[in-house]
Structure 1
């Protein structure tokens, strides 16, 4: 069995990997692997990031583009969680509901979120509804599937105890299935958040006039590679923060469940 890395060893490896990455980046430029306009230096990207914090590009500053993306993501992902989790738990409890929804869901969930772009553009134009629909299409299936699996894997003795105590369907779902399925639900939220965030960026490339995806495509059209890289870094950083927040939510829920 492998030993876990100490905190000091972990950070030393992290710093070493980061330094090696930037060293290779500088070396690639020094050896002219790519023209300067297509591969800016790391410090040039940093300077551009600082500049975009208060200088508009494509009609907005970097924080404003980030805020627009997060607003769309919050609506789409929040709707996916609010619909997917209760529906998944209910499908795990009510056999008839499972039989009715599963055939339709199994067909729809294999449609890639980007395939909804034409409908989003036709129905909502460049408004907030289009990206919200696409984010929902990406985040909804993992939320439902993991809630369903969590409900189906609850130990029978818990369900029998709830039944003996006279708990109805609503109480069983909220006080037995949901607490027991929390780890599976959180896993679904993490997967759904990742897919939803990726879907958002793809949607903004086509059906949005602001946001991180729009920033990148406008920068690509202007051959502003440093701005493209700033957008990519911001997208990755926001994704990491979202995942950290969901993991903290998991800790709070598990702490409350075990209290």
Structure 2
């Protein structure tokens, strides 16, 4: 009962916050303090958003652009997971590999993903490779770091028991380190997905000829604030869906391991 009341209160407070924001936005738009061209009302933006769902703008509907962006995101994020998680686990187990990779990784991970844009443009132009590279640059570090931390904080008793049974290294990684590190890995994936999605939009603003970022640039060129804001809403919705999916996976895994109720 207490949990239900807390959930209801959180929903109510969230609704109040959203309604207050929309009311303030509407009043500011109607006040004339900011030209309507640059601050349209929520109703105008919602109308434009619905219009773009079925009408083409910049060579595609809003759904077409979102789909193109999601494909790029899937490529870059998937590559980051496939490389970052195994490498993090291996670094957590093999000290030599940790010593070899860590200095290079620490030097590269502080380069902002958007800083890779000129390099990606030189290599790939406006093709799919550039955005995927930039998404990878944003999503890779959290995948590796959280897998590494998960491997480092495995219960020593599990490792000792596996060693007593003569478990080889690769089997130790797959059957001891990986299961124990899963909660940390999933938490890292949530961070990684958020950074990757943000990096994608930044890349599409510069080095893409399709996608939601490209649509927003075209909207800016046409001085269509409603189009730009519709793109922002689409970005927020997709980002929220991605986080909800990963949050659900995290909760399910923690519950299965008896770490959440």
TM range (shorter): over 0.9
Aligned 8 A contact 2:146 2:184 in 1 = yes
Question: What are structure 1's unaligned runs of at least 5 residues?
Answer: none
User: Partner of 1:80 in structure 2?
Assistant: 80
On the 8 A contact 1:179/1:257 being kept in 2, the answer is no
- How far is 1:255 from its partner? 5.1
1:242 aligns with 2:242: yes
Distance 1:167 1:81 in 2: 26
Displacement of 1:253 after TM fit?
Answer: 3.5
| Aligned residue in 2 for 1:212 | 212
**Distance in 2 of aligned mates of 1:40 and 1:116:** 34
> What residue number does 1:138 align with?
138
Contact 1:73–1:132 under 8 Å retained in 2: yes
| Structure 2 CA distance for aligned equivalents of residues 149 and 15 of structure 1 | 37
TM-superposed CA distance for 1:248, in Å, is: 2.1
Where do 1:1-259 residues align within 5 Å?
6-254=6-254
Q: If the length of structure 1 is used for normalisation, what is the TM-score?
A: 0.95
Q: Residue by residue, what CA displacement relative to the aligned partner does 1:228-258 show, whole Å, maximum 9, x if unpaired?
A: 1100011011111001111222234445556
The Cα RMSD (Å) is: 1.5
Partner Cα separation in structure 2 for residue 254 and residue 26 of structure 1: 42
Query: For residues 239 and 29 of structure 2, what CA distance do their matches in structure 1 show?
Result: 28
Q: Note the C-alpha offset of 1:4.
A: 9.4
SS at match of 1:154: coil
Q: Quote how far apart the aligned CAs of 1:113 are.
A: 0.8
2:5 and 2:35 map into 1 onto residues whose CA distance is 40
| Structure 1, 93-102 or 247-256: larger mean CA deviation | 247-256
Q: Deviations over 1:114-137 (max 9, x none)?
A: 111111111111111000000000
Moved over 6 A (4+): none
Structure 2 contact 30–41 (Cα < 8 Å) conserved: no
How many correspondences in the alignment?
Answer: 256
Cα distance in 2 between the residues matched to 1:32 and 1:4: 43
